[in-house]
Amino acid sequence: MAFFPRGEKYLEIITTLKDLKAWVQTTKQQGDSIGLVPTMGFLHEGHISLVDMAKAENAKVVMSIFVNPAQFGPNEDFDRYPRDLERDSKLAAAAGTDVIFAPSAEEMYPRESHIQLSAGPLANVLCGAKRPGHFDGVLKVVTKLFHLVQPDRAYFGQKDAQQLAIIESLVEDFNFPLAIRRGETVREEDGLAKSSRNVYLSETERQEAPHLRKALLLGEQAVLSNEDAVQSMTAYLEREVSGKIDYIELLSYPDLDHNVQGLAILALAVQFEKARLIDNIIFPIEGKN
């Protein structure tokens, strides 16, 4: 364990399952509610906004910081994913987090799992179609965190909208005794969605990256005008950014199917030289139920 100043109190850093279970047991015995903010670290304002939400609804806030190997595929950026626990601890403490749970991979996965979780059809589109097994790995770590922390509420950002939909389905389908809270995407002043991977962008790519958001807004207007959003967005991005378009899709939300009714999600991914950026916009379609 370690401690960082947190106003007049201290943020506690827990690295073992044993110590976490002891903390949760004591907290539950005291009758305190727990809010969980799962992260992979290298915190930004998006993560801090989730802490703010959790503080408003719970007596205690736990942030997990764990770069989960189960959700990275071959040749992805697991080894070079940015890590800085000391920096993160200071930011989390300043935001009012009570506990950081920062285990090692060996602590979380002491043996090869005999039981496999599958995200199912919700993972057959968007990032799931491009990253086979990714969301199975997300479900693995989230399920473990839910059991270990026993939160009353857990907080996830809408930038990872497919992940959010899959986790909401997990909680509903298997009756997890907690509520999922959605946090709005936090953006830079120029519209770029906050992401730990933004540090990978070159200076030129950083100047181009706000066009992802602009393309989504263009696409939304195309959808509402009964025009081809994918075609419009593709032409715009090919003109404005040097990165390669990975996908652009219009789906229903949160069902993530092509029968778009009521609430729609327009999502994209663009691969730059060292960073794959995702973004989305969720909006109602008038006249649909």
Catalytic center residues: 47
> Is position 260 annotated in a ligand binding site?
no
Nearest-angstrom CA–CA distance, 201 and 206: 6
What one-letter code names the amino acid at 94? Answer: A
> Is position 116 annotated in a ligand binding site?
no
> Is position 43 annotated in a ligand binding site?
yes
Which helix or strand (DSSP H or E) is residue 157 part of? strand 153-157
> Is position 67 annotated in a ligand binding site?
no
Give the bridge partners for 280, in sequence order: 267
Using a 10 angstrom Cβ sphere, with 0-12 exposed, 13-18 middle and 19 or more buried, the burial of residue 109 is middle
> Is position 147 annotated in a ligand binding site?
no
Which ranges of the chain would DSSP assign to H, the alpha helix? Answer: 17-29, 45-57, 85-95, 105-108, 126-130, 134-149, 161-173, 203-208, 211-224, 229-240
> Is position 213 annotated in a ligand binding site?
no
Q: How far is CA 96 from CA 51, 129, 278, in A?
A: 8, 37, 29
> Is position 163 annotated in a ligand binding site?
yes
> Is position 160 annotated in a ligand binding site?
yes
> Is position 243 annotated in a ligand binding site?
no
> Is position 44 annotated in a ligand binding site?
yes
> Is position 194 annotated in a ligand binding site?
yes
Say if residues 129 and 2 touch (Cβ distance below 8 Å). no
87 phi, psi to nearest 5 deg: -60, -45
What one-letter code names the amino acid at 140? Answer: K
Q: What residue has token string 């960073």?
A: 275
Q: Which of 99, 5, 20, 3 is nearest to 59 (CA)?
A: 99
> Is position 186 annotated in a ligand binding site?
yes
> Is position 3 annotated in a ligand binding site?
no
Nearest-angstrom CA–CA distance, 249 and 161: 13
Q: What residue has token string 């270990």?
A: 148
Q: Annotated binding site for (R)-pantoate, which residues?
A: 71, 163
The binding site for ATP consists of 40-47, 157-160, 186, 194-197
Residue ranges of the binding site: 40-47, 71, 157-160, 163, 186, 194-197
Tell me the binding residues for beta-alanine.
71
